[in-house]
A and B are shown apart, each in its own frame.
Chain A
Amino acid sequence: MATPILIVALAELYSERAGQVNIGLDGIMAFGALVGFLTSYITGNPYLGVLAGGIAGLLINMVYAFCTITLGAEQIVYGMAINIFAPALASFIYKIYFGISSTLAQATLMKVMPIPILSKIPILGPVLFNHTIIVYLAYLLVPFTYVFFTKTKPGLNYRAVGEYPKAAESLGINVVRQKYIACMICGALAGMGGAYLTTCYISTYSDGVVSGRGFIALSAVIFGRWMPGGVLMAALLFALIIYYEKTNMEECL
């Protein structure tokens, strides 16, 4: 449950660390979800789906990057524009491809990859080590991000760009390039987060499949104080709340 929120929150983390507040996550996710689903549907390979979702997210986020970095436009406005544009485009492509009134198309879901031995541990095993590879990768991304930002030189330069671009520039760091890279990472991760929904979580695509997870991820970043560990905690917490809410609703039904 927490995985897509986590991936997308990390996407936003990478973006905001370079000073790019992107509220278009929901839109990027929707587009990633569609492309991921289609790819997986056509090829029958959900792994390719996630990859394609990432590429799609990257591309669509370049619109945002171009407008905000190169043209210097308001980040919030263009984030909003992405939120409206990307899901519409996704929905359009879906309907063109499957026709308007078709029944829900099913694609293959990614298989669960239990980790040998570890998954056999009673109770903890199935909970922690019985997931798709994306889940493992998402959680591995947390320590990786932490190390990247605190222990490496590129990570340090990256943060400097977000905190005080003028100082970074005076030291010969290419601020514009760094910001574009940040937007690429953000788009790709958010797209994959979206694709996760349609390739690992449910096997269909429908409008509104993202249902505000992008905004929840945005909140998770702030709640997690812009640190990978904090973001992980926040994502888990939010997922728990949503899960509770959902089961509650289902009971009511």
Chain B
Amino acid sequence: MKEFLRMENMSKKFGEVYANKEINLSVMEGEVHTLLGENGAGKSTLMNIVTGLYQPTGGDIYLRGNKVKIESPSKAVKLGIGMVHQHFMLVEALTVFENIILGITKEKSIFIKKDAIKKEIQELADKYGLDIEIDKAITEISVGAQQRVEILKALYRGAELLILDEPTAALTDIEVEGLFKIIRKLTAENKSVIFISHKMREVLEISDRITILRSGQTIKTLNKKETEEAELANLMIGKELVNSEYKKVQKTKEKILTLEQVSFNKSSKHNGISEVSLTVGKGEILGIAGVDGNGQSQLAQIVTGVIAPESGNVLLNSDKVAKFAPINFINSSVSHIPEDRNKMGLIGNMSVKENLILKSLSKKRISAGKGFYLKRKAISLYAKEMKEKYDIRCASIDMELRNLSGGNQQKIVLARELEEEPKLLVAVHPTRGLDIGATKYVHDMMIASRDKGCGILLISADFDEVLKLSDRIAVMFEGQVVGIYPGENPPISEISLAMSGKAK
């Protein structure tokens, strides 16, 4: 087998941070090569370099042994590199046919020779078993069919290497089987495939070789035949045992939050949850581990009232929630550290002090006459107090929030959400994008809240974080809770496997 693509010492720096550091990767002709790694391991950055969206800070790319420079996406297309993005790049208002020929310049005539090109596309589709309905609009066809259109689009542009980013994420099991058949046909025709996934079963089924990335670096490249699930999981996570610096507590009797068979958008594995049952006790942290996009966002939004479940019950302090609206949950003393603090938690164009009082506008301390008069002086005093107490570093409390660093912004969220001593805290990726200092601060505050009796539902794609903080760990996979494990001496291999869909 000949080598198709080789990347040597690829590095990409964003500011001072390496997203990729001296990565080596080689893909053979006719090979399915999997990139395996957690969120943020550097897979997307690397693929963005190959497809010409990013320019590397260092390193070389060789195609069939010749050194190349990929300056733009169109150059990548010319070199025979095609990518199917996780979020499809299809123009929904156009038909399948129109999407496939979009932007192609190989024919001179400005009119579209519909019949001739259609025939050509159909032949290509038949060759690889890509079943498509060429005249339908994109909105009329299934997600699986849209993916086939994307693959066909790349092939029609002469792709020799196809990059599939999380291709099975949105597919049903049967569709996954179909996709694998297509991939096998492609490799039989000597085309190469880079397959990005973190689902162990699929990775082991389809790959020839597997390269594991962690924290932007290549950890190891393995032949499928010489490895097994446990080894891959451990390499991906990077540790076999962690000692948490925080004391774990035993499960308490008093329940703050109970979910009974809760479902939302059940048929979707990635944007819904299916019959989830779990409890959060008083003064305990329940950590939800799992790869991003397995229903965690929906879970968080249900237990904060942003969306309403389609079936099942949610109980707060053993009272059944009747109406799902954020205000009801806030009034029941539920706090929320949302997953995207800039979009969901804070208002960038308002001042620090205004953001601090977003949820306490009707409190006596802040306003008089049912909110008819805001006590400006009292607000400033309160904001200054919070600034001291939560160590928010800003030049002034009147400064616009967007000028603060991520860590300080998150401290504002903490101050707002924890100051009122909530009964339940829903924390979603609470330290995403923060530096070590700020991360530790957030963790300390959460543990302190727990010790005061707050029940915490921690949702994080950062496995380390879940291990470190949780008193109990639940694993979510494709919208379901697939296992609950103790936080004290957790069985890490077992949890890792559960996260990739291999629960015992």
B90 within 8 A of A: yes
Q: Do B110 and A152 touch (CB < 8 A)? A: yes
State in angstroms the CA–CA spacing of A160 and B94 once bound together: 8
Residues of chain A with a CB closer than 8 A to B77's CB? 171-172
Q: Once the chains bind, are B94 and A159 in contact (CB under 8 Å)? A: yes
Q: Which residues of A contact B104 (CB under 8 A)?
A: 153
| Residues of B73-88 whose CB lies within 8 A of A | 73-74, 77, 85
B411 to chain A, nearest CB (A): 31
Q: Are A159 and B91 in contact (CB under 8 A)?
A: yes
Expressed in whole angstroms, the Cα–Cα distance for A170 and B89 within the complex equals: 8
Chain A residues with CB below 8 A from B110, complex form: 152-154
B residues near A160, Cβ cutoff 8 Å: 91, 94, 102-103
B92 touches A156 (CB 8 A): no
- The tally of CB-CB contacts under 8 A between chains A and B is 60
Given A156-B98, A157-B102, the answer on whether A167 and B91 have CB atoms closer than 8 Å is yes
- Report A25-65 CB contacts with B as 1/0, cut-off 8 Å: 00000000000000000000000000000000000000000
- The total of chain A residues at the interface (CB under 8 A) is 18
Of residues 129 through 183 on chain A, the ones whose CB sits less than 8 Å from some CB of chain B are 151-154, 156-157, 159-160, 163-164, 166-173
How distant is the Cα of A164 from the Cα of B73 in the complex, in angstroms? 16
B219 at the interface (CB under 8 A from A): no
Q: Which of A154, A164, A166, A170 contacts B92 (CB 8 A)?
A: A164
Of A151, A169, A171, A172, the residue contacting B112 (CB under 8 A) is: A151
User: From DSSP, what is the main secondary structure of chain B's interface residues?
Assistant: loop
- Which of B94, B101, B105, B111 has a CB less than 8 Å from the CB of A151? B111
* CA distance in complex: A168, B110 (Å): 18
**Count of B interface residues, CB-CB < 8 Å:** 21
Instruction: Indicate if B141 sits at the interface (CB-CB under 8 A).
Output: no
- Decide: A164 near B103, CB < 8 A? Known: A151-B112, A153-B110: no
Q: Is B91 a contact partner of A163 (Cβ separation < 8 A)?
A: yes
A144 vs chain B, min Cβ distance (A)? 13
Residue B207 lies at the interface, judged by CB distance under 8 Å to chain A: no
Q: How far is the CA of A159 from the CA of B101 in the complex (A)?
A: 13
With A152-B111, A154-B110, A156-B98 known to touch, is A173 a contact of B92 (CB < 8 Å)?
A: no
A152 to B110, CA, bound (A): 6
CA distance A170 to B91 in the complex (A): 12
B279 within 8 A of A: no
Q: Given A168-B102, A172-B77, verify A156-B90 contact (CB < 8 Å).
A: no
Shortest distance from the beta carbon of A162 to any chain B beta carbon, whole Å: 9
Chain A residues with Cβ under 8 A from B93's Cβ?
A: 159, 163
14 A-B pairs whose Cβ atoms sit less than 8 Å apart in the complex: A151-B112, A152-B111, A152-B112, A154-B110, A156-B94, A156-B98, A157-B103, A160-B103, A163-B92, A169-B73, A171-B73, A171-B103, A172-B74, A172-B77
> With contacts A153-B105, A168-B102, A170-B73 known, what are 14 further pairs, Cβ within 8 A?
A153-B104, A153-B111, A154-B110, A156-B101, A164-B91, A167-B89, A167-B91, A169-B73, A170-B89, A171-B73, A171-B74, A171-B77, A172-B74, A172-B103
